[in-house]
Structure 1
Amino acid sequence: MNKFISEKQRFGATTKQVFGSVTHTSFNGVYTMSTVMTVADLLRACSFDLIPQHLKILYKEIQRVASPSRRQGFEDYCYKHLTSSTEISGVIPPVLIGCMSEVETEFSDDPRINDVLVMQPDKNFVVDGVNRLSTIATILGGYDQSLLKKIKESDARLKRRVDLSRLLQELSVQVLFIFRKDKALSEADFSQIFADVNGQATPMSTNKLMKLARTDDVVMFAREISMLPIIRSHGGMSLDGNTVTTKSEFVLTLNSVTRFILGALGGERMQGKVRGVREMSDGAILSQKHLDPIRSDLILFFETWIDYQGENYSQDRTGFQLVATLIQGLGLVFHNLWITYESLAPAERTSLLYQAAKKLGGLDYSRMAPHWADCSCVSLNENGSYIVNTGGSTSRKGFAKHLSNKLGVQYRSR
C-alpha cells in the first residue's frame, strides 16, 4: 500500500486527491481509476489551460481538434437533453485523462469503500474527450482557448449558452484516469495511448448515423414520408443506399429525402447540414416547431409531383426523377415557392403549391427530353442522352433553377 497524502482542494496546488476504483492488476505497467466527477471539478483535475506544445501538436495531428461544428454539435446535444427537449435517452461518453506525473494510490480493503488516487492536476492531460471538455470549458468560461478556432456565434446560441452554463455546473460525468505507479507517464507513453484510443475509432458514415437517429426531427420526418402509400407502392425508400440504380427495388434513399426536407425548410444553406449542428436563420435550433408549418404542404407537394408522373416514376429507372440531386433540388423549389407565396392566405398558398407540383409532375424526366438543354447542370453525351456534369450542391441548385423556370417562377438563391 502506497503512502496516503492529504488532499489539497485548490486548482494549482501540488496535488489533488480523487476517489474511485483502481484496477488491481496492470496492463503492461499501466493502471486506471474509474470515478465520477462534476464537469467543473474535472476541469480542475486536469490541465486544460497549460497544455504543453508537444501535446498541442499531438492533438492537431491525430484528430480534428474541437472544430466549431463539433463543439456546437456537442453543445446542442447537451442542451437538448438537459432541457428535456427530447424523450429519447442520451449519454456523455467517459473522459480519459492521462497522468504525466508520479502518483500515489491507496487501496481499500472494503469493496464498498473507494480507492484513493493522488496526482498533480497540472500534469494531467486529456487522452479522449478533447471536444467534450473544450466545449464545456467554453460554456463555463475562464479557460484557455488556444486550441479552439474562433467563429462568430448567433445571439440565440449565446443566450442558450447562459442557460446551459447553469445546467452544466453540477453535471457529473464518468472519468477514467490512466497512470503508472512506478513512474510518470512519459511523452512516448502518452502519445502511444492517445494514438491507440483515438486511432481505433472509425467515423460512422452519414447513412449509418441517419439510420440510427431517433432524436433528429428531419430524419424522422423523412422516415414518415417514406411510409406514404404512394412511396411504398413505387418501391419505397432505402435506409442504407446512396443512389437509385437500374437494379434497385427502392425509388428513394434516406439521405436524399433528408436533404429534400432540409432544402424545403431552409434553402441551400440548410441543405448542406445533413449531420452536425442545424441552426435556423434566427439562430434557433431546428426542431418540430419549424417543420410543422410546412409539413402538410410539403407532403402534398411531393405526393402530387409523384402522382402526376404516373407509372413512369418508378418504371423509367434511368430517368432524372430518381436522381438524388434532382429530388434535393425539388426541395429548393418548394422553399423558393414557400417564400414567394408567404404573404398569401394558407389555403391559397397550398393551392398554388399543389398546382406547381402538378405541373412539375407532368414534365418528361427521361434523359433524352429536349427541355434538359436549358438545364445548367446537365450536358448531352455522345449517345444523345443528358447526364449530370456538376457536383452535388451545384447540381441541386441547377435542377432547382431549371424546374423553377418551367413554372415561370424566378429562383432566388437564399
Structure 2
Amino acid sequence: MLTFVFDDENGLNEEQVREFFFKYNRQHSGLHLTQFSKPDNTFPLKPLIDQLTQNLNFEKYGGVSTKSKHVKASDSYLTTEYILFKFIVGSVAGSQVQETSMMSNDVTFASGLRVSEVLEDGYIKYIEAFLKAWLQPLQNNNKLTRGGFRLSAQIWQALSLVVYKLVADGASIEDITLSGLILGRLDYSKRATHWHNCGVMGLDSNGRLFKNTANSTREFRNGLAKYFLALV
C-alpha cells in the first residue's frame, strides 16, 4: 500500500502520480503498474548507459534489464540499468555519491559538477576498458560462469570503486584493462577458498559456502573494494 499525504486541496493530478510511481519503481522493482509507466522510460544518465551497453555489446552476454533491479543466476540478462547506474556513479564519484545517488536525479559532485559531464569528457573510456576485460570469462554466457557472486549488485558496485581509486591514483587505460583481466579471472563461486582473505566474507554455518559477514551493505561494498584493490 502506498499512501500520499498532502496539504494541497487540489490533490494530485495524473502526471504527478505517474512521476511518483516512476521514481519509486526505479528504487523498488517490485512495484509494477503498467498504467503508470513512463512512456519514454528515461533518466539523466540513460544515454550514457545505453552508450556503454552498445559499445561493450552487452547483448552478447544476455543484455540489460530495464525492469529488474538485481540479477539472479537463473536470469538470462547480464545486468540491469540500476546496477550500471550505480557502477558508473561509483567509478566517477566514489562511494559516498554512489550510495546516495538516485537514478531520477542528475547526479553531481559536491562542487556542482555533473557526473554526466565527466563521463562525456572522456572518463567513460576507463569504465569501458575495465568492463570489457572483466567480462571476458562470461563470453560463453552459461549457467556455470554466471553463478556465485559475479553478477551481484554489491560486487559490481565494489568493482566500480576499484576503477575510481585506480583512476584517482593516475592509472592508465592499460593499467585499468589489466586490473579488469585479473579480477575477471577471479573465481566468484561461493566455494572459492580465496574469499578467506576477504575481511567481509565468511563461511556459513555448514562451513561450506562463503557469505557476506559485514554489518551493513556499505561495509560489505567497501570491504570488497579493499580486497579487490589488494589483488590488482
Partner of 1:268: 95
Cα distance, 1:329 vs structure 2: 0.9
Partner of 2:212: 388
Cα distance per residue 1:275-299 (max 9 Å; x no partner):
3352224222333344432112210
Tell whether 2:164 aligns with 1:335: yes
Cα distance, 1:399 vs structure 2: 1.6
Tell whether 2:132 aligns with 1:300: no
Tell whether 2:227 aligns with 1:398: no
C-alpha contact 2:133 2:181 (8 A) present in aligned 1: yes
C-alpha contact 2:166 2:176 (8 A) present in aligned 1: yes
Identify unmatched segments of 5+ residues in structure 2: 30-36
Tell whether 2:58 aligns with 1:231: yes
Q: Which amino acid aligns with 2:144?
A: Q
- The 3 A distance-change label for structure 1 pair 284 and 397 is same
TM-score under structure 2 length normalisation:
0.78
How many residue pairs get aligned? The number is 211
Tell whether 2:28 aligns with 1:62: no
Spell out structure 1 runs of 4+ moving beyond 6 A: 208-211
Q: Which amino acid aligns with 2:157?
A: Q
Q: Which amino acid aligns with 1:298?
A: I
Give the alignment partner of residue 280 of structure 1, picking from 81, 85, 109: 109
Identify unmatched segments of 5+ residues in structure 1: 1-60, 64-125, 128-192, 343-348, 408-414
Q: Which amino acid aligns with 1:231?
A: F
Cα distance per residue 1:66-98 (max 9 Å; x no partner):
xxxxxxxxxxxxxxxxxxxxxxxxxxxxxxxxx
Partner of 1:315: 144
Q: Which amino acid aligns with 2:185?
A: G
Secondary structure at 1:320 match in 2: coil
- Once residues 129 and 181 of structure 2 are traced to their aligned partners in structure 1, the CA distance between those partners, rounded to angstroms, is 10
Partner of 2:25: 205
Cα distance per residue 1:266-322 (max 9 Å; x no partner):
001221212335222422233334443211221011011111455477633332111
Q: Which amino acid aligns with 2:51?
A: E
- Once residues 285 and 246 of structure 1 are traced to their aligned partners in structure 2, the CA distance between those partners, rounded to angstroms, is 34
- Once residues 334 and 211 of structure 1 are traced to their aligned partners in structure 2, the CA distance between those partners, rounded to angstroms, is 34
Hey, which of these two has a bigger chunk of helix by percent?
Answer: 2
For the aligned residue pairs, the C-alpha RMSD in angstroms reads 2.9
Answer with 1 or 2: which has the greater Rg.
Answer: 1
Give the alignment partner of residue 351 of structure 1, picking from 163, 169, 174: 174
Hey, which of these two has a bigger chunk of strand by percent?
Answer: 1
Q: Which has the higher mean CA deviation after the structures are superposed, 287-296 or 370-379?
A: 287-296
- Once residues 291 and 394 of structure 1 are traced to their aligned partners in structure 2, the CA distance between those partners, rounded to angstroms, is 31
Partner of 2:32: none
- Once residues 300 and 373 of structure 1 are traced to their aligned partners in structure 2, the CA distance between those partners, rounded to angstroms, is 29
Identity among equivalent positions (%) equals 20
